[in-house]
């Protein structure tokens, strides 16, 4: 069974042994960190900014960046080389030269053959698109896989997820405003309305980080905002943060149906950490929406929370079902590639430094609760109960594996 931090106990008070290793001087390890160019799903972000590379190099680590890895985020190769990175021509060279690979998305089908025994892979896993065969490939190679979706610090926050979700929440409303316009086939209405014309109704499914930032942005546009969630405490907090500028309701079938029928915009923002997002809006509900309304399912990378949602791409971002526009691009922050890269790099670099501060990835998992919670494969074992349930595979608890020395 999976025991996240063993019922809240810290690593010293949990199942790990109480003995502590005596300090014997500096144990910093020089890491070899690879940054491949993203090739999947029109991804424009890159995992490390030049300033992040400079920090790592200043701490004695080697960083290898693929040619044009940062081009679509407007980071030139010379910026990386001036920061101390080595530039190589192809992804295969990255995987051959580096023991630790940092990516935005998981390795593509073309990249999988490049993976080597016992490498460390830090990237998003994308629960909505992962497969048992991918996980088995990582386990067969003895790779330590750490997923952005799972990294949870000791205070309970998901730092990388939060940064991306702040961007997603704001962008979801900007995108919805554009697709409501007549030129995009929408209803031809403004989110905020004008004097004498009421504002549009924006319904947000979920009161988490995406929902919060979507609500903030929609309020900034002047829209009427309704937020639904199954967690009354989350709704209460959101009302407090936004000074009761929103309408909240429990996400019961009755309230969801009522809100969807009057919605000009639906923002899918409901999620369960490390699990598939819940489907709250059925196709029957979508069929009852007003023609030209817009659905932005920001949780499509976790499976989506609208039944009619299916993944789209930046080049073909929308489709219509029952004359309702659906925008379901999984890597939405990629459209704000530079901002998103800085955000990701700011959070990721301290984790990389913490790995370098100890002798190995095993010691880093031992000492860093964020990295440990982020591990989903380790030592040829699946370590997440949610993934095991999803694919019918066995799993082992990461803390027990570390404690036993397996």
Q: Do 297 and 306 touch, CB atoms closer than 8 A?
A: yes
Q: How far is CA 294 from the centre of its chain?
A: 23
Burial zone of 285 (CB within 10 Å; 0-12 exposed, 13-18 middle, 19+ buried)? buried
**So which residues are the catalytic ones?**
126, 301
d(CA 188, CA 293): 10
DSSP state of 395: -
Q: Which two tokens stand for residue 304?
A: 């989506």
Which candidate, 259, 263, 247, 208, places its Cα nearest to that of 231?
A: 208
Q: Which residues of 375-399 are buried (b: 16+ CB within 10 A; e: fewer)?
A: bbbbbbbbbbbbbbebbeeebbbbb
Report yes or no: 372 and 351 within 8 Å, Cβ to Cβ: no
Find out whether 240 and 267 touch, Cβ atoms under 8 Å.
Answer: no
Residues 80, 94: Cα–Cα separation, whole Å: 15
DSSP 116-148: -TT-EEEE---TTT--HHHHHHHHHTT-EEEET
How far apart CA 53 and CA 115 sit, in angstroms, is 22
From the list 259, 319, 313, the residue with the least C-alpha distance to 294 is 319
Q: How far apart are CA 67 and CA 265, in angstroms?
A: 40
**CB count in 10 Å sphere of residue 369:** 18
């Amino acid at each position: 069974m999976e025991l996240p931090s063993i019922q809240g106990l810290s690593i010293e008070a949990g199942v790990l042994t109480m003995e502590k290793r005596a300090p014997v001087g500096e144990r910093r390890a020089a890491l070899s960190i690879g940054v491949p160019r993203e090739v999947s799903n029109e991804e424009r972000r890159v995992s490390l900014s030049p300033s992040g590379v400079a920090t790592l190099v200043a701490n004695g680590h080697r960083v290898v960046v693929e040619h044009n890895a940062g081009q679509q985020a407007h980071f030139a190769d010379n910026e990386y080389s001036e920061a101390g990175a080595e530039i190589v021509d192809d992804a295969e060279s990255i995987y051959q030269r580096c023991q630790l690979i940092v990516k935005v998305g998981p390795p593509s089908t073309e990249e999988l053959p490049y993976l080597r025994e016992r490498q460390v892979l830090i990237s998003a896993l994308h629960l909505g698109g992962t497969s048992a065969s991918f996980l088995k490939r990582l386990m067969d190679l003895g790779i330590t896989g750490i997923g952005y979706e799972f990294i949870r610090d000791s205070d309970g926050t998901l730092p990388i997820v939060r940064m991306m979700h702040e961007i997603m929440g704001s962008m979801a409303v900007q995108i919805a405003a554009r697709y409501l316009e007549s030129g995009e086939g929408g209803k031809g209405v403004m989110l905020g309305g004008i004097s004498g014309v009421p504002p549009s109704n924006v319904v947000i499914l979920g009161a988490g980080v995406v929902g919060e930032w979507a609500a903030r942005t929609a309020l900034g546009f002047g829209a009427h905002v309704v937020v639904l969630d199954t967690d009354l405490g989350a709704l209460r907090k959101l009302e407090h943060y936004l000074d009761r500028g929103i309408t909240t309701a429990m996400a019961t079938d009755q309230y969801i149906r009522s809100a969807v029928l009057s919605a000009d915009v639906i923002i899918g923002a409901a999620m369960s950490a490390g699990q598939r997002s819940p489907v709250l809006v059925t196709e029957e509900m979508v069929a009852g929406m007003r023609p030209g309304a817009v659905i932005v399912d920001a949780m499509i990378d976790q499976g989506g929370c609208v039944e009619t949602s299916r993944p789209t791409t930046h080049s073909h971002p929308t489709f219509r079902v029952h004359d309702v526009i659906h925008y379901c691009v999984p890597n939405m922050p990629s459209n704000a590639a530079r901002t998103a890269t800085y955000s990701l790099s700011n959070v990721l670099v301290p984790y990389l430094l913490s790995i370098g501060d100890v002798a190995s990835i095993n010691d880093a998992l031992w000492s860093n609760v964020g990295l440990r919670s982020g591990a989903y494969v380790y030592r040829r074992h699946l370590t997440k109960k949610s993934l095991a349930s999803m694919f019918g595979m066995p799993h082992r608890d990461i803390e027990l594996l570390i404690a036993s020395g397996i």
